[in-house]
Amino acid sequence: MNEALRVAAVQLSSTEDVDRNLRSCATAVAEARRADARMVVLPENFAYFGDAAGRQNLAEPGDGDRGKIGRALAEMAKGSQVWLLAGGWPEVSSDPLRPFNSATLIDPEGHARANYRKIHLFDAFLDDGAVLEESRTTSRGDDVVTADVDGFCVGLSICYDLRFPELYRAMVARGAEIFAIPSAFTRETGVDHWRVLLRARAIESQCWVVAANQCGTHPGGRSTFGHSAIVDPWGVVVAEASDEEGWIIADLDRLRLEQVRRKLPCLQHRRLST
């Protein structure tokens, strides 16, 4: 059993230009691999950050034949020999107008090993006048998903999921040791809530948290917060990005996780199941 997993979180400022975005992803993955990352997490909307019509046109099957985005991801993972978590991106659903927002885990041979469809969809009316209605353009997933990455149990989620601790508790019940949270967290909400929520999920579940966020201003005027972060099971932020493109990296130590859970065994003290 591996005692540590070196993980990188990539921070992008994605646009409507899919080719440009995928080149940025490939560059970051290769750089992280040169720093000995074994797993790389891409942010939500890594391939396309634009309107609903664009997402509909880009949606690809989750299984079977891969489209342009899926092929590019497989090449990145295989070329750099890393586990690659790509999320979220548009996956075909039964409603052609409302694709899933999915996070896909790809192994170092380029094969998809797990696929999570975003459960909690972001409908919000912000003070700056922005109206965000993800449920109008996106189909909702239903399944809690965890996956094995080099002997570590990784729970998959996307952005707005971060506000729903019951999802992360369900992943812990399935053995999760690491939470991966690809995001496009808005600047307005991120200033006050991003770090607090990441630390809370780490502390209450005694898990490592790896959160890759978007940054900057995107088509349509939406602004995202950046500050991608890696948080240890005690709630300590061990790596954090600025508000510009780049990537961060840290060793996720199993011994640290076991020490925290042994020191304060709150997961064993639970009395309510819901």
Q: pLDDT digits over 116-169, tens only?
A: 999 999 998 766 666 778 999 999 999 999 999 999 999 999 999 999 999 999
Give Cα 70 to chain centroid, integer Å: 16
Tokens of 166: 């019951």
CA distances 214 to 44, 170, 236, Å, are: 7, 26, 21
Q: What percent of the chain has pLDDT over 90?
A: 90
What is the CATH number assigned to the segment(s) 4-267? Answer: 3.60.110.10
The pLDDT score that the predictor gives to residue 52 is: 93
Mean of all residue pLDDT scores within the chain = 95
The pLDDT score that the predictor gives to residue 205 is: 98
The owner of tokens 């307005």 is 188
The residue type found at 76 is M
From CA 35, how far away is CA 55, in angstroms rounded?
33
The pLDDT score that the predictor gives to residue 2 is: 82
Question: Measuring CA to CA, which residue among 144, 141, 140, 123 is closest to residue 132?
Answer: 123
CB environment 47-77: b (16+ within 10 A), e (fewer): bbbbebeebbebbbebeeebeebbebbbebb
pLDDT exceeds 90 at position 99: yes
Q: Phi, psi at residue 236, to the nearest 5°?
A: -85, 130
Contact 213, 226 (CB under 8 A): yes
From CA 30, how far away is CA 37, in angstroms rounded?
9
Contacts of 39 (CB under 8 A, 6+ apart): 5, 6, 7, 8, 82, 83, 84, 85, 149, 150, 154
The per-residue pLDDT for range 15-71, each reduced to its tens digit, is 999 999 999 999 999 999 999 999 999 999 999 999 999 999 999 997 656 799 999
Alpha-carbon Rg for the chain in angstroms: 17
**Catalytic residue positions?**
44, 118, 159
* Beta bridge partner(s), residue 133: 123
Cβ neighbours around 270 below 10 Å, total: 10
Average pLDDT of span 242-261: 98
